[in-house]
A = this chain, B = another copy of it.
């Protein structure tokens, strides 16, 4: 019988607890799959345990504390001491990935982080290993389960954002302070990680333009439904004009789109490359046991083999003016010439209209327009002009639309 693989566990919250139990439960299965049995050699809790002692006793350090400090310090010390590290910490990888990858490479140890993006959906492994030799052109999808749950609920119930958020918090799908999720920062960190791995280029958090779902109105979702559209918070990382673009934004999808049916707290990621057309992966985005399961998968990989390299191949520029199509919601005074003036502003800015729905509302009218794809800069220039028109009764609302329809 071979020695057990000793694991130092940092953090024992929801995920840490689930991981601790899973190791006990699946130790035999890990041994069967990887040749050695894992065991927890020590646990560092906030108020309890000595990091150096745990490090001394461990071959692999599993970091499930979250946040950047002291997680970063512990992970760096573990790597430098020649320990493999597994983490589920997206902020740590998104903000300090390059530093950590360098240190791991120098120390000749593995740093794995499958659980940092899309929970149990093995998108990191697929990008880093299955597609390591593939020229990926685009990675996009739904990488935040909280916001997808909220948008699905808003669409099916017609309820206001604030009410649905409260329900999500009651069900445990949203945290007490939900800002990281609903403002898009969580998805932005995940997209920074995916873009880095897919394109082999450094991507800083500041490179990711993001926007959340806090401004979404039920009536936008209702109008869009009539047009066959459903709303998702989308992360998109793509090669463009010799550089890359990495963004997170709420977006309407036509019903034929493969991501349109993804409902509730699920994640789904699509990878496009000439050699594979597109591969889609979906599953539950988070949850203690799903995340713990992804962490254990990384532990199995460490026990049975060598690491992916995380090399940076080149430094690609961030491209910002992307062609997009937009949904535009306007409340205007119901009087002659209004539509003509708006059409004039759009026309001068070379923004082309695809469809218009107009509805009366007392003395006012609502105008819902969907544009054809064009440079965002032009649309935003038009929007700025429109916002100054005197017949406007409320702030205009613009939401991106993905035009592609699938067979």
Which A residues are within 8 Å of any B CB, using their own CB? 22, 26, 29-30, 32-35, 114, 120-122, 125-126, 129-135, 200, 258, 261, 263-264, 273-284, 287, 289-290, 292-294, 296-297, 299-301, 304-309, 311, 313, 407
Contacts and interface: CB of A to CB of B under 8 A. Distances in A.
Contacts of A120: 275-277, 279
Nearest to A132: B33
A18 to B, nearest CB: 9
B133 A122 contact: no
A309 B304 contact: yes
The 9 closest A-B pairs by CB, nearest first: A305-B305, A305-B306, A33-B132, A279-B283, A120-B276, A122-B130, A275-B293, A130-B297, A132-B300
Contact of A275 (B22, B33, B258, B306): B22
Contacts of A114: 130
Nearest to A279: B283
Contacts of A200: 32
A136 to B, nearest CB: 10
Contacts of A284: 276-278
A110 to B, nearest CB: 10
B30 A132 contact: yes
A296 B307 CA distance: 17
Nearest to A294: B130
Contacts of A134: 26, 29, 293, 296-297
Contacts of A294: 130
Contact of A135 (B29, B129, B132): B29
Contacts of A287: 277
Contacts of A133: 22, 26, 29-30, 33-34, 293, 296-297, 299-300
Nearest to A29: B133
Interface centre among A29, A125, A133 (most CB of B within 10 A): A133
B289 A278 contact: no
A280 to B, nearest CB: 5
B35 A121 contact: no
B307 A33 contact: no
B279 A280 contact: no
A131 B125 CA distance: 11
B129 A297 contact: yes
Interface centre among A132, A279, A297 (most CB of B within 10 A): A132
B29 A279 contact: no
A311 B33 CA distance: 7
A180 to B, nearest CB: 23
A374 to B, nearest CB: 29
Nearest to A274: B289
A129 B301 CA distance: 7
Contact of A306 (B26, B135, B306, B308): B306
Given A261-B261, A289-B275, A301-B129, A135 B283 contact: no
Contacts of A407: 263-264
Contact of A309 (B34, B126, B132, B290): B34
A280 B277 contact: no
Contacts of A290: 275-277
B121 A279 contact: yes
Interface centre among A200, A273, A277, A284 (most CB of B within 10 A): A277
Contacts of A30: 132-133
